[in-house]
Amino acid sequence: DVVMTQSPLSLPVTLGQPASISCRSSQSLVYSDGNTYLNWFQQRPGQSPRRLIYKVSNRDSGVPDRFSGSGSGTDFTLKISRVEAEDVGVYYCMQATHWPYSFGQGTKLEIK
């Protein structure tokens, strides 16, 4: 099974400052069709998860452009260029290349 490892698990950030979350997989996430099915989700307090990024770097509709995803193979990153108060929550990476699908442990972003 593919293990997804996020770091850091806790991320205190000052408003207006950048933030970065790393996600590493135990195997390459490149699928036989050439796509890499690595996704990022945000879960605000008391809410359901919401997808932010799919296939490494594709931003979902309505997601602010301060969020960006990058990476390849086994090493991926979610970046927030300038953190806003509404970004508080837990962020998860998830791979959908290999069965069983798997999520990272989650990174809790808080305002310093």
Partner 1 sequence: EVQLVESGGGLVKPGGSLRLSCAASGFTFSNYGMNWVRQAPGKGLEWVSSISSGSSYIYYADSVKGRFTISRDNAKNSLYLQMNSLRAEDTAVYYCVRDYENFDLWGRGTLVPVSS
Tell me the C-alpha distance between 9 and 93, whole Å. Answer: 12
Burial of 2 (0-12, 13-18, 19+ CB in 10 A): middle
Amino acid at 64: P
The binder of partner 1 chosen from 25, 39, 42, 74 (CB under 8 A): 39
Question: Closer CB to partner 1, residue 34 or residue 100?
Answer: 100
Instruction: For residue 94, state whether it binds partner 1 (rule: CB under 8 A).
Output: yes
CA-to-CA distance for 65 and 60, rounded, in angstroms?
10
As measured in angstroms, the least distance from the Cβ of 82 to partner 1 is 25
Q: Kindly list the residues in this chain that would bind partner 1 in the complex (CB under 8 A).
A: 37, 39, 41, 43, 48-51, 54-55, 58, 60, 90, 92, 94, 96, 99-106
